[in-house]
Structure formats: structure tokens, C-alpha cells
Amino acid sequence: MKKVLTLSLLLLLFSVTNTVLAVDTLRPGEWLVKGQSLSSNNGYYSFIMQSDGNLVLYVGSRPLWSSGTYGQQVTGAVMQTDGNLVIYSPQWRALWNSGTWGNSGSYLVLQNDGNAVIYKPNCPLWSTKTNYP
């Protein structure tokens, strides 16, 4: 019980103090907790960690891509320092991941073409494959 309470307090403190520095980029160690989002610089696209547990890429109100984690309890999505984008449950169980571990220094960018891409400096590793001209 004490371990769970301590973890819950740390998560609460982390979610209050951790802010995304760039509106279109998730850097190593940064989180999107429920209700937080990235926006493309042109303002057309949003990458939202929804309260229903799903990470969804939108153009306006139309979904283009999702993590498929709808209905699951999530803490949020983290761009890990090992290069993997992971959605975690409150029990620290990985519910979804991009499969890009082993690429430290990688970061995610929501581009103006509607594609969310994980880059290892200048080299794309993973994307939502939702780029539009």
C-alpha cells in the first residue's frame, strides 16, 4: 500500500510539474498525460492523449491514427530516453509502444503534413504514416 501511495504521489507531482516545452515536439523524458496534446506548427493537426486511454492524431475533429488503447486506464505516453514512445498503465505496464527502443536521443515531432514521426537526429525511425500533401 505504501509503495502504491508513494508512486501515486510521484505521478501526481510529475504530471503537475512536467510541461512540454515545444508545442509540436516530445523530447526524451517528456510525457503527454491525459488531456495533454501536441499541435503541429501550422495548427491543423493535434496529437492528443485522451482521457479514454487512446493516443489519437487528429486533423480538426477527424481522427487519422490511434494507438488502439481506447478504454484502458493510462498514466500517459512518454518519449523514453531509450527512443521508445510508450503508453503506460497506472501500474507501469506498457500498453503500447512504437518499437523504437535502443535509439537514445530520439524525439517525436508532429509535422505540418499530419505525420507524427520519431527521429533519431535527422533520421526517421517510426511514423503514423498519416502525411498529407
Q: Does the pLDDT at position 31 exceed 70? A: yes
Look at the domain 2-127 and name its fold.
Agglutinin, subunit A (2.90.10)
Residue bearing the bigger pLDDT, 116 or 16 = 116
Which residue is listed with cell 496529437? Answer: 47
- Cα–Cα distance for residue pair 27/46, rounded to 1 Å: 16
Q: What is the CA radius of gyration of the chain?
A: 14
**For the chain, what are the domain ranges?**
2-127
Mean pLDDT computed over every residue of the chain:
88
What's the pTM value of the predicted model, to 2 decimals? 0.83
- Which residues, including other chains, have CB under 8 Å from residue 62's CB and lie 6 or more apart? none
Residue bearing the bigger pLDDT, 121 or 55 = 55
pLDDT digits (tens, 9 = 90+) for 72-118: 999 999 999 999 999 999 999 999 999 999 999 999 999 999 999 99
Question: Could you tell me which of 40, 28, 21 has the C-alpha nearest to residue 107?
Answer: 28
